[in-house]
Amino acid sequence: MIVVQGTCDPAFTGVREIFEQNFADGRELGASLAVYAGDRKVVDLWGGVADRRSGREWLVDTPCFAFSCTKAVTATAALLLAERGAYEMTGPVTNWWPEFGVNGKSGATAEHLLSHQAGLPAFARPVMAEEAADAEARANELAAQTPEWTPGEAHGYHALTYGWLAGEIVRRHSGKTVGEFVREEFAGDLDLWIGSPDEVIDRAAKLTAGKRPPENGADAPRAVDDDNVLERLANAYVDPNSQLNRALNNPHPGKGGYNNPVVLRAGWPAAGMIATARSLAEFYNRLINGRIVRPDTLTDALRRRVDGPDRTMLVNSSFGLGYMRPSATFFTPKAGRETAFGHTGAGGSIGLGDPHAGLTIAYLPNMMGDQLSGDLRAYRLTEAAYAALA
């Protein structure tokens, strides 16, 4: 029997009960969860196994790979530089990245790069994990590519290329990698790394594939109710030529998947962060309370730049400047559908902030699964947190 450890405010007992039930039902191997209400950390829980092979226990300071939760942190770094006047959000990218203007991309703006409108959702050729460690080279490669649509005329999830596009904003205007800038500017005291040292990699949770029990069909909410869309998603997921498959799987992480130290050291700025849930929740708490960027900067960043059919994900998605907004790809309880923002990650992870509710949530599991079958662990935890506020 898994013993969940940590603390939980009595008002948020429902959150703890769902977290514990996920373990009891076989939906978790190991995980951590943190919730802030206002400036109070009201939930700080962890439990289970960090490494299935060795049986290593998940400890209070065990960090976990956070997949695309990384994008919100990378976007915040770019926003901070824009706030300081380093570049114009709606000005041409070619003002500071002249090489980007070739092959029909001369009208691209930083806003397009940050909201999945750049038309570069995948690399044109297979890229290996070792190559992906060179951020400047990968950015240059994308700059030379012909876009799959004219920037600004559509949007499609840039699952991995996003990091080298948004990351180039940071690199060109600060002279630092995203990971260096983030730690120097607003996360130096947090257990949060985009590009991890070996001692962090050694104690990080190891991701593992897992089969979880199906959700109760009658009770399980669905972000997408169209079975035809679900079938198209399933087909695209396994079709090597589909935009979805090309966006999600290139660069390929190589041997060991996203446990590969080559990937973890490199800190891919779209999906390379290792963090604890308590630090990711603290990041969002600082963000919604004006301690990273100004409140007006965040308010503008949350304005939906795109909202509708996503050329990559094949369902409706919605993005501000780097942050997901509630949609079929960021399934959010009714109480947060107008005010929440953040980012999900493959395997079920989530980071969420809600300035209106004063709520921040981070949940990081190491058991992966088939997302097309529906992973409601994060949703149910988020739903319980909103219910506790009410």
pLDDT tens across 36-87, in order?
999 999 999 999 999 999 999 999 999 999 999 999 999 999 999 999 999 9
| Spatial separation of the C-alpha atoms in residues 232 and 218, rounded to whole Å | 23
* Architecture of the structural domain at 5-389: 3-Layer(aba) Sandwich (3.40)
Give, in order, the Cα–Cα distances in Å from 251 to each of 98, 133, 263.
25, 10, 10
Chain-centroid distance, C-alpha 389: 24
Q: Indicate the pLDDT class of residue 216, thresholds 50, 70 and 90.
A: low
- What is the β-pairing status of strands 208-209 and 367-368? parallel
Percent of the chain that is helix, strand, coil (3-state, to 5): 40, 15, 40
Give, in order, the Cα–Cα distances in Å from 149 to each of 94, 191, 245.
18, 38, 17
| Spatial separation of the C-alpha atoms in residues 64 and 36, rounded to whole Å | 19
Whether residue 64 contacts residue 23, with contact meaning beta carbons closer than 8 Å, is answered with no
DSSP-derived secondary structure for 371-383: GGG---HHHHHHH
| Spatial separation of the C-alpha atoms in residues 272 and 160, rounded to whole Å | 10
Q: Which range (30-39, 93-102, 372-381) has the least confidence?
A: 372-381
| Spatial separation of the C-alpha atoms in residues 115 and 268, rounded to whole Å | 18
pLDDT digits (tens, 9 = 90+) for 246-282: 999 999 999 999 999 999 999 999 999 999 999 999 9
DSSP 92: B
* The length of the chain, given as a count of residues: 390
DSSP-derived secondary structure for 32-88: EEEEEETTEEEEEEEEEEEETTTTEEP-TT--EE-GGGHHHHHHHHHHHHHHTTSS-
Query: What residues contact residue 250 under an 8 Å CB cut-off, 6+ apart?
Result: 122, 123, 126, 127, 160
Q: Indicate the pLDDT class of residue 375, thresholds 50, 70 and 90.
A: confident
pLDDT digits (tens, 9 = 90+) for 333-374: 999 999 999 999 998 999 999 999 999 999 999 998 655 444
Tokens 């060179």 — which residue? 134
Q: Which range (68-72, 138-142, 231-235) has the least confidence?
A: 231-235
- HSE on the CB side for 261, CA within 13 Å? 7
Q: Indicate the pLDDT class of residue 232, thresholds 50, 70 and 90.
A: confident
Whether residue 143 contacts residue 51, with contact meaning beta carbons closer than 8 Å, is answered with no
Partners of 319 in the beta sheet?
306, 324
Give the tokens for residue 238. Answer: 């396994």
Whether residue 63 contacts residue 200, with contact meaning beta carbons closer than 8 Å, is answered with yes
- Tell me how far apart the 2 most distant CA atoms of the chain are, in Å: 58
End-to-end CA distance of the chain: 32
Q: CA 134, 324, 378: angle at the middle one, nearest 5?
A: 100
User: Would you say residue 175 has pLDDT above 80?
Assistant: yes
pLDDT score recorded for residue 373: 44
Whether residue 58 contacts residue 47, with contact meaning beta carbons closer than 8 Å, is answered with yes
Mean pLDDT within 93-102: 98
